[in-house]
Amino acid sequence: MSDSSDSYPMLDLYQQEIETHCAVLKREVSSLRKDESVQSEPIMRAAHSIKGAARIVGIQPIGDLTGALESLGADLGDAHTAVLGKHLDLLESVIGLVEKSAQVEASDMSDWLGAIAAEADAMAKKLSDIKPEEIADNQPTAEPEKTKAISPASEPANLADASMLELFRTEASDQLEKLSTGLVELETDAGDLSQIEILMRAAHSMKGAARIVGLTAAVDVAHVMEDALVAAQAGEVTLDPESVDVLLRATDFLNSMASADDTEMATWADDYAEEIQCFKSDLKAIKEGTYEPKGHRPGASVTAKAKEGLSEEKKSAVTTAESSRKEVTGMDSVVRVSAESLNRLMGLAAETLVETRKLSPFRDTLLKLKETQVELNHRLDTAQQAIEDAHLDPALETEFELVRGAARSSLDAIRRQIDFFDGFSRSHTLLSDRLYREVLESRMRPFRDGTVGFPRLVRDIARSLGKKVSLELEGKETPVDRDVLEKLDAPLNHILRNACDHGFELPEERLAAGKSETGTLKLSARHSAGMLVLEVRDDGRGIDVKRIREKVLERELCAQEMADNLSEDEVLEFLFLPGFSTASSVTEISGRGVGLDVVQTMMQEIGGQVRVSTEVGLGTTFTIEVPITRSVVRALIVDIDSEPYAFPLNRISRTLQLRADDIRILESRQYFDMDGINVGLVSAHAALGLTGVFSSLSKELTVVVVNDRNTLYGVEVDRLIGESDLVVRPLDPRLGKVPGIGSASLTESGEPLLIIDTEDLVKSIDKLLSGGALVKTERRDVRSGLRKKRVLVVDDSITVRATEQQLLENAGYEVDVAVDGADGWNAIRLGDFDLVVSDIDMPRLNGFELVAKIRADNRLSRIPIIIVSYKDREEDRMKGLEAGADFYLTKSAFQDDTFIEAIEDLIGGPEDS
Amino acid sequence: MNCENDNSKTDALSHLLDRPAPSGYLEDWHARIREKRDEEEKNMLPLLVFRINQEWLALSVRAVAEITADAPVHRVPHRTNKVLRGIVNVRGELQLAISLRSLIEVEQSNDAPVSNGNAYPRQIVLQREGERFVSRVDEVVGIVPFEQDSMEPNPVNVSKSLATYTRGLYPWQKTKVAHLDDELVFHSILNKYL
């Protein structure tokens, strides 16, 4: 081990490896903390891997330390749970030190190692001092805090298994949402006793749910909440805003507990003992009517967290609990359906529709058949006349009569069949159409599902600013696609916050301006021309357009002359520029722009628009227009290289036919003139990388002009097919992000098609237009004349793999890697390798088994194999060689040339002779 | 028949029937019956037999999700290669289409077609550990049980690639069926062509 800083080249890999294995160790330790029994094997394995990795990169002290941990695991055997449980602190400091070693910069490594050497040594010694006999003697002094951590913590973990906790979470989130919504409404609708009753019941159910899973702390808090609400209902106390604050905070507190993970939940009662106590006394005071708000707020520390939890909860739950009793009446009940199942339903419904389209051609063939039958009957009639005239044998005439009869009844049969089929076809077409629409419809949720948190949000912000604001919701039942609804949450949140923060005046200012004390914030949703239109209207102070104009000039965003000519709407557009309004201007218009660019960005992502209009003194209105759904897109279908592709209609500026001589070529780029604007032209073939870059210029070109923000691009396609509503399907995730392609769909005839991601396509067009270097690079480089020898490295440690790969490549060999034995076995059969280097201890298929498999295969049996292992005992060596390995090396072989020498012995140098 | 002797005769008869079985008798039959069932159940391997070009191939039934009618494949720009063909519609869901033909390099020969006139191209939906791929084949015969003992090692006269993917050959209707290794097929697609 040298002291120069570059002697730790593998540190990056080392860090990755440490991360994985430390995670395992921590998990085991946290199980131990909860008094659960653990397996010693994962601990040993993790320690073993860290040891190996540390030794390879030359961090000896960590290697020794984890080595001690590994042998401890081996010594303890079955007794490990009890013994390790008593040394949790030691284990944690060991893990801490190991983790720290991965964070040290290569240049500081030597210093750091020097600094911790003594500490690491002491820890290693402590580890090796641990003996199984310790189980017997009971030393409470050794781990004083351990008992404290375990006794209350283990309570819920023992009482409730995972599924019960899951049920508790669902129940809690429903009940707490009722509480939260109800409390806010209670404030605006004070004294409504039936409202309080709902709250009481919610608190009561919450208490019951918590009791079942044994969360005593939650039971206590819910209990005092219920008491306070009972008192309020009985009219013994009135709930003033301060009391509602406490109740809301208690709700949040419970919510953050319910959304904590199992381990956190287990220690919750201890971690927040003070808050719990505080809630209990405050709520008791409320019940007795003696509550006085104090300076500090219990639970304030977890409020932020609670909010996070709340939105998280909202996302995961497809359904939302009925938010208030007024709306519940006449509402459908809601069930949870997995998104995957819904997608599959959609696929089947669409396919049914496609199949239905085959009925009509089938009917046509039936009609043809009928026509032939009519013709046949007609001919038979004529023939009979001839036969009668000819006066043939009567027996023949009878026979012919029978033939005519058969032909007639066959014609009748087919007529009946056609009638029947017509009826069937009509009803089936109708049914499959309805089915399809219904499935599409099922993706829709009422707008109110996306608004549950808003009344609370507005109330809290307004209260904290000393303002009075009431939020009115309109069009709560307007259907919106659930994806779109989810995406709207953040922008709406932002706009509402902004309105409360900057839009409304303080109550006294409002009174002075002759307005009512309480401001009204109105959020409405409606459908208009196939779009969802949302309006957020406040009756606050409005925005002073003049001030923005000044600000625009001040920041030199445009010239004086231009600024003067900008219309009011255009000036307001500046509000959406990133960081337009800064803290330096805390005036009437201040902060209006802060974060509004976020809204704009989200709108771009989902294909929507946001506008703002304002009148000084009267208020401001934000209008958002988004597509009602993103699962159906109206698109133009075109033919590119004999396959259908679709351009979303909202991105198309126009389509046009160009003659070849309309195209001008400037610096090897193609342009054409459209209404006086120079528009760059690129063939879709090139942009999608289908064939050559420039298509042969035929006389007429079909061009789709797409717009990306303010730039226009012409995309040459082969043919326009038509407009269609497409149900958007995600592209197979195994394909990754395909350049220029956004998603997939099916044509009316059930053929797959690809939907173009215009923005992304424009990016590749840009590259094509400006790059000039259009040479497609081949993914695999062409084999040079001399074939290099190929070596396969099989090891489950990324560090070892990388070390071996580096050593081999430095020596000139071509290297492939496999992550375990089974992976290796597959690679060997496909790979055409000259040599295999394998580890022994690997998941799925170990090294011995792998060697045996190779030796048993008559096509592969002659490949030389080297085993490289940490195991340096003679019996391991013998076992490896018996299995059929040609060489057995220990991993210390990397330190010198042993490894490469062994390989050269077996297969010679890297080049084929 | 004399009635007086009736009882004694009946007794003698029931003695004859009730006598203990000779030693080894039960074991003998037990073994015989078991052997036969073992032979039938254990040694038969059901495989889906299909054809690509002139080559008869077979896949383990657990690697086959379904067989569907042939359908058009849409290439995916920047992703399509000789094995990964693109996307294809299978009952309303878009699946990845691959070409077993290219993967195992079944060569087109000019020999007379090996099949009767009723063969239609079909798609096989392959599945393994949650992964699915669809491949077009020239003809699907159906599920055929093979005697495991009849497996023969690979001959030398097939392409190297086909030999790599073949577990072994089974004699079938005057010709041979190559049993493909589905694990290796999936490994190869996932690691080399996706």
Per-residue confidence (pLDDT) for residue B125, from 0 to 100: 95
- Mean pLDDT value across chain A: 77
What is d(CA A775, CA A764) in angstroms, rounded to the nearest whole number?
14
Q: Give the predicted TM-score (pTM) of the model.
A: 0.55
What is d(CA A80, CA A818) in angstroms, rounded to the nearest whole number?
33
pLDDT, tens only, A221-262: 888 888 888 888 777 777 777 888 888 888 888 888 887 777
**In chain B, which residue's Cα lies nearest the Cα of A739?**
B78
Q: Do B72 and A351 touch (CB under 8 A)?
A: no
* Rg of chain B (C-alpha set): 27
The confidence band for A304, taking pLDDT boundaries of 50, 70 and 90, is very low
Check if B65 contacts A (Cβ < 8 Å). no
Per-residue confidence (pLDDT) for residue A670, from 0 to 100: 79
Residues of chain A numbered 696-735 and touching chain B (CB < 8 Å) = 729, 731-732, 734-735
Per-residue confidence (pLDDT) for residue A291, from 0 to 100: 75
Q: Are A252 and A312 in contact (CB under 8 A)?
A: no
Check if A344 contacts B (Cβ < 8 Å). yes
pLDDT, tens only, A425-459: 999 999 998 998 888 888 888 898 888 889 888 88
* Residue range A829-854: mean pLDDT, rounded: 84
Q: Do A829 and B184 touch (CB under 8 A)?
A: yes
pLDDT above 90 (res B59):
yes
What is d(CA A279, CA A291) in angstroms, rounded to the nearest whole number?
11
Q: Are A61 and A84 in contact (CB under 8 A)?
A: no
Per-residue confidence (pLDDT) for residue B73, from 0 to 100: 94
pLDDT above 60 (res B119):
yes
* Residue range A74-80: mean pLDDT, rounded: 64
Per-residue confidence (pLDDT) for residue A67, from 0 to 100: 81
What is d(CA A621, CA A244) in angstroms, rounded to the nearest whole number?
30
Share of chain B above pLDDT 90, in %: 36
Per-residue H/E/C for A203-235? HHHHHHHHHHCCCHHHHHHHHHHHHHHHHHHCC
Check if A257 contacts B (Cβ < 8 Å). no
Structure tokens of A533? Answer: 């239109």
Q: Do A752 and B86 touch (CB under 8 A)?
A: yes
pLDDT, tens only, A535-580: 999 998 888 888 888 877 877 777 777 777 777 777 787 777 766 6
Please list every residue in chain B whose beta carbon sits closer than 8 Å to the beta carbon of residue A340. none
Per-residue confidence (pLDDT) for residue A536, from 0 to 100: 93
pLDDT above 60 (res A692):
no
What is d(CA A648, CA A756) in angstroms, rounded to the nearest whole number?
7
Q: Do B184 and A827 touch (CB under 8 A)?
A: no
What is d(CA A859, CA A833) in angstroms, rounded to the nearest whole number?
12
| Ranges A231-235, A619-623, A729-733: which has the least confidence | A231-235
Q: Which has more pLDDT, A322 or A669?
A: A669
pLDDT above 50 (res A810):
yes
Per-residue confidence (pLDDT) for residue A10, from 0 to 100: 67
pLDDT, tens only, A5-49: 445 556 777 777 888 888 888 887 787 777 666 667 777 778 888
The confidence band for B118, taking pLDDT boundaries of 50, 70 and 90, is low
Per-residue confidence (pLDDT) for residue A78, from 0 to 100: 59
The confidence band for A53, taking pLDDT boundaries of 50, 70 and 90, is confident
What is d(CA A421, CA A414) in angstroms, rounded to the nearest whole number?
10
What is d(CA B69, CA B87) in angstroms, rounded to the nearest whole number?
15
**In chain B, which residue's Cα lies nearest the Cα of A346?**
B92
Collect all residues with Cβ–Cβ distance below 8 Å to A606 and sequence separation of at least 6: A484, A487, A626, A627, A630
Per-residue confidence (pLDDT) for residue B115, from 0 to 100: 58
Per-residue confidence (pLDDT) for residue A535, from 0 to 100: 93
Q: Which has more pLDDT, B154 or A804?
A: A804
β-bridge mates for residue A610, sequence order: A624
Q: Which has more pLDDT, B35 or A481?
A: A481
pLDDT, tens only, A773-799: 443 333 333 334 457 888 899 988 877
Query: Which among B87, B89, B93 has the least Cβ separation from residue A344?
Result: B93
Please list every residue in chain B whose beta carbon sits closer than 8 Å to the beta carbon of residue A347. 91-93
Per-residue confidence (pLDDT) for residue A16, from 0 to 100: 77
What is d(CA A372, CA A295) in angstroms, rounded to the nearest whole number?
96
Per-residue confidence (pLDDT) for residue B126, from 0 to 100: 95
pLDDT above 90 (res A595):
no
Buried b (16+ CB within 10 A) or exposed e, B4-22: eeeeeeeeeeeeeeeeeee
- Interface mutation vs chain B, best among A732, A760, A860, most B CBs within 10 Å: A732
Distance of alpha carbon A44 from the chain centroid: 34
pLDDT, tens only, A152-176: 333 444 444 566 777 778 778 888 8
Q: Which has more pLDDT, A604 or B87?
A: B87
Per-residue confidence (pLDDT) for residue A590, from 0 to 100: 40
Q: Do B79 and A746 touch (CB under 8 A)?
A: no
Share of chain A above pLDDT 90, in %: 11
pLDDT above 70 (res B39):
no
The confidence band for A592, taking pLDDT boundaries of 50, 70 and 90, is very low
Per-residue confidence (pLDDT) for residue A428, from 0 to 100: 93
The confidence band for A772, taking pLDDT boundaries of 50, 70 and 90, is very low
Per-residue confidence (pLDDT) for residue A406, from 0 to 100: 93
pLDDT, tens only, A314-361: 433 333 333 333 343 445 566 777 777 887 888 888 888 888 888 988
Check if B97 contacts A (Cβ < 8 Å). no
Check if B34 contacts A (Cβ < 8 Å). no
- Interface mutation vs chain A, best among B87, B125, B165, most A CBs within 10 Å: B87
What is d(CA B38, CA A63) in angstroms, rounded to the nearest whole number?
55
